[in-house]
Amino acid sequence: MYKKLLSRVSCLSLVFSIFLACNHADAVEPEIIGAEKFTVQVKKALLLLKEKDFDAYTIVANYIGRIESGPRSGMWAYHTPPTYEMSPSVASDSVTWVAATIAHDSYHSKLYHEYKNAHPGNVPDAVWTGTAIEQLCMKHQLVVMEHIGASQREIDYAKTQMDGHYVRDGETWLGYWFNRTW
């Protein structure tokens, strides 16, 4: 009897694992809004993530619903759908850099939504923004960059950003608008 129970539990575990894998595999790719050049570059970056770092791609597909061209780069996790706004300067960089920034900002959104799903009420900014969170997102970005074959120059540059010095804790919308240049 114990063997039958163990066998059933093992089968259920396998079925559940397959279900989870399929659920992640069927995650919807973000909608892309922008000029043709922007759209092509973002599609190449998403394909690179999908082929070289499927775990990072899954985070993107689950936590970013839209990637949109805009004057500055930033993650709007609280929008419906969660939107990564990407500046023209970022979008015109290499495909590996574009992919890395998408992965980076998807991690911000992941932190936001995991908290929101586990706690009623508002999501505190410190859960998904600020210097400490930026360091986590940069760590994720660097791992992704290794997986997708980013150049050593790009990796070295990303390492100079690891401390999150470019982010201001408690920054207001106006501060974001006037201070962000990427």
Question: How large is the average pLDDT for residues 63-83?
Answer: 95
Distances (CA, A) of 55 to 26, 139, 152: 13, 15, 22
In this structure, are residues 57 and 67 in contact, taking their beta carbons and an 8 Å threshold?
no
Q: What is the mean pLDDT of the chain?
A: 84
Q: What is the pLDDT of residue 179?
A: 54
Q: What is the pLDDT of residue 12?
A: 39
pTM tops 0.85, yes or no: no
Q: What is the pLDDT of residue 170?
A: 59
Question: How large is the average pLDDT for residues 81-90?
Answer: 95
pLDDT class of 164 with cuts at 50, 70, 90: confident
